[in-house]
Chain A
Amino acid sequence: MLRSRESGAWPSRGHEGPEAVAIVESVMRWLADPAHWQGSDGIPTRLAQHLQLSGESVAIGALIALPIGIGLGHFGRFGNLAINISNVGRAVPSFGILVIAFQVFGLGDLPIVIALTALAIPPMVTNSYVALREVDPDVKDAARGMGYRRWAQLLRIELPLAVPLIMAGIRTSAVQVVATAALAALIAGGGLGRYIIDGLAQQDYTKEFAGALLVAVLALATEASLWGVEQLLVPRGIRLLQVPASRQATAFKTA
């Protein structure tokens, strides 16, 4: 019995290999087709729409979340409240917000930006709050002792020290938003999600797969490029601190 089941499983397993190769090949052919790189449904257009929707949402989210997180972290008050409220935000599904916002605001980019902004806010609030709380109290005392006023202390001492965690929050938000922006196509929006939704409706699974691949690659590229930005923003002194201990001595010497 077992034997026959096993032997039955083999041909299908052997079959999966070539099939997977065929899918990858057809997706590569789809991506290489010049026809898919032009026009209103071309990859450049859809990519631009995707980046625009994601960029707007993360930017608006940052304008809302960062002052809240930084302020609460700096003053050290109501932190739990803010984090709990923003965690409730994480629990609400983006698709739900999308559908409700569509009912209220109708067709267009607005419902999509609202849903994605709501998704972008929580990681940025939490991370920036924690980042400010985690600044070493001794450093803050030293700053005060050297005559820094409140704003100067926040801008020149606390924020630079908090940059790595704050940037990690922005990065988390951005990657989530880029990946979720594919939902826009469900309410007739643009972006790379169009290929996924259209491919599904047209039973064109190559297109669907290519769309999913493009979204995934874009999310990874977002992660990588924001990591690059983070490296530029982190003060030299902190970067040196992150270097392995064995190399720190020489690193400090050259600094």
Chain B
Amino acid sequence: MIRKTGSTWLTAALAVIITAAAACGGTTSPGTTSKGTITVAGFNFPESSILAELYGQALAHDGYTVNYKLLLGTREVVAPAIKSGQIDLYPGYAATELEYYNGGAGEATGDATATTAKLNSHLQSLGLEALTPSAAVDQNAFAVTKATQTKFSLTKLSDLAPIGSQLVLGAGPECPTRPFCEPGLKTTYGITFKDFKALDTDGPLTRAAFKNGTIQVGLVFSSDADLNALGLVVLQDDKHLENADNVVPIIRQTVATSEVSSVLNKIDAGLTTVDLVTLNGQVELLHQDADAVAAAYLQQHNYFS
């Protein structure tokens, strides 16, 4: 018993030292007494690790002891872990979380606030809570090259309606039958394209087709790491065709004190999709570590001052 307590204390102390070193680069000294331990998990892709590090390092700076369970797995692994209390917090995506916790009932919409409210109604009984959704969003998006953007002066999807007949749309072969894709662009935005080119969903074929001019509009994910490098511009989904997959922390109610919530909400309030693209780029293209990238972001945006 004594042994166990001792080793737990040692682990906690070590965690404080490590996170303090990671978060503060050894410049500022953290509080010596921990406000409690919070276990942050992430899904098995880089963006989730970055978001988990942003939350974790901000909480560590605020005086919490933070354990990380990064790259834990898919939602099928992460959700049961938070339900059972093995983890306390993970960065979720509003619409996808809602459709997971409601069993795919199709309640998610393009409205982030409404989607999160709906999500909370399902999380309530599980002892979980979704905090305020960020403006940063990782969802289906339609991109054009900078050249196309300049030529037709495009900023949002509505701008495509009058010129769609001059452009070729590229996406996965399922696009012509999916409501979020070609049919949705037609009914919601009134866009009819010159042709459709079956490629892949946000993969190498789409990128090659942009490059050789086979397509002018392509389906991507809004926070893709390489959008900047490829010179692609995401058009704003001004009529909310896509479900609101805004970044939102999913947290256990017992952990979500007003202090913790305010720390996390502050991160989400400052984070944008453009930030997400940049951070993903640093990790996926420049091969930097997620913790270093997150620390640099927090430093730069004065979360540590």
B214:A194 contact, CB within 8 angstroms: no
A106:B198 contact, CB within 8 angstroms: no
Stretch of A56-64, A175-183, A198-206 on the interface side: A198-206
A107:B198 contact, CB within 8 angstroms: no
- Which residues 186-234 of A have a CB within 8 angstroms of B? 187-188, 194, 197-198, 200-204
B198:A102 contact, CB within 8 angstroms: no
Bound complex: CA A198 to CA B211 (Å): 23
For the complex, is A82 an interface residue (Cβ under 8 Å from B)? no
Contacts between the two chains (Cβ within 8 Å), count: 41
- From the candidates A102, A108, A185, A201, name the one contacting B174 in the complex (CB within 8 A): A201
Tally of chain A residues near chain B (CB < 8 A): 16
- Which residues 69-105 of A have a CB within 8 angstroms of B? 102
Point out the residues of chain A lying under 8 angstroms from B174, CB to CB: 198, 201-203
For the complex, is A40 an interface residue (Cβ under 8 Å from B)? yes
Q: How far does the Cβ of A89 sit from chain B's closest Cβ, in whole Å?
A: 26
- From the candidates A40, A106, A188, name the one contacting B199 in the complex (CB within 8 A): A188
- From the candidates A107, A201, A204, name the one contacting B214 in the complex (CB within 8 A): A107
For the complex, is B176 an interface residue (Cβ under 8 Å from A)? yes
For the complex, is B161 an interface residue (Cβ under 8 Å from A)? no
CB within 8 Å for A201 and B173 given contacts A187-B205, A188-B197: yes
Point out the residues of chain A lying under 8 angstroms from B150, CB to CB: none
Point out the residues of chain B lying under 8 angstroms from A194, CB to CB: 173, 198
Bound complex: CA A40 to CA B194 (Å): 11
Tally of chain B residues near chain A (CB < 8 A): 17
Residue of A nearest to B178 (CB): A202
Bound complex: CA A102 to CA B211 (Å): 13
CB within 8 Å for A106 and B208 given contacts A188-B199, A197-B198, A201-B172: yes
A107:B212 contact, CB within 8 angstroms: yes
Residue of A nearest to B210 (CB): A107
Residue of A nearest to B174 (CB): A201
Bound complex: CA A124 to CA B195 (Å): 39
Q: How far does the Cβ of A107 sit from chain B's closest Cβ, in whole Å?
A: 4
Residue of B nearest to A194 (CB): B198
CB within 8 Å for A198 and B195 given contacts A106-B211, A107-B208, A187-B205: no
Point out the residues of chain B lying under 8 angstroms from A202, CB to CB: 173-174, 176-177
B176:A102 contact, CB within 8 angstroms: no
Q: Taking each of B172, B176, B208, B214, which has the highest tally of chain A beta carbons within 10 Å of its own beta carbon?
A: B208
For the complex, is B209 an interface residue (Cβ under 8 Å from A)? yes
Point out the residues of chain B lying under 8 angstroms from A108, CB to CB: 212
CB within 8 Å for A204 and B177 given contacts A185-B198, A198-B198: yes
Q: How far does the Cβ of A23 sit from chain B's closest Cβ, in whole Å?
A: 19
A40:B212 contact, CB within 8 angstroms: no
- Which residues 195-247 of B have a CB within 8 angstroms of A? 195, 197-200, 204-205, 208-209, 211-212, 214
A106:B176 contact, CB within 8 angstroms: no
Bound complex: CA A106 to CA B174 (Å): 22
A40:B177 contact, CB within 8 angstroms: no
B208:A102 contact, CB within 8 angstroms: yes
Apart from A194-B198, A201-B172, A202-B173, list 5 A-B contacts with CB within 8 A.
A108-B212, A188-B197, A188-B209, A201-B174, A201-B198
* Closest 4 pairs (CB-CB, A-B): A201-B173, A201-B174, A198-B173, A107-B208
Can you identify 15 A-B contacts, CB atoms within 8 angstroms? A40-B195, A106-B208, A107-B209, A107-B211, A107-B212, A108-B212, A187-B205, A188-B199, A188-B200, A188-B208, A188-B209, A198-B198, A200-B173, A201-B174, A202-B174
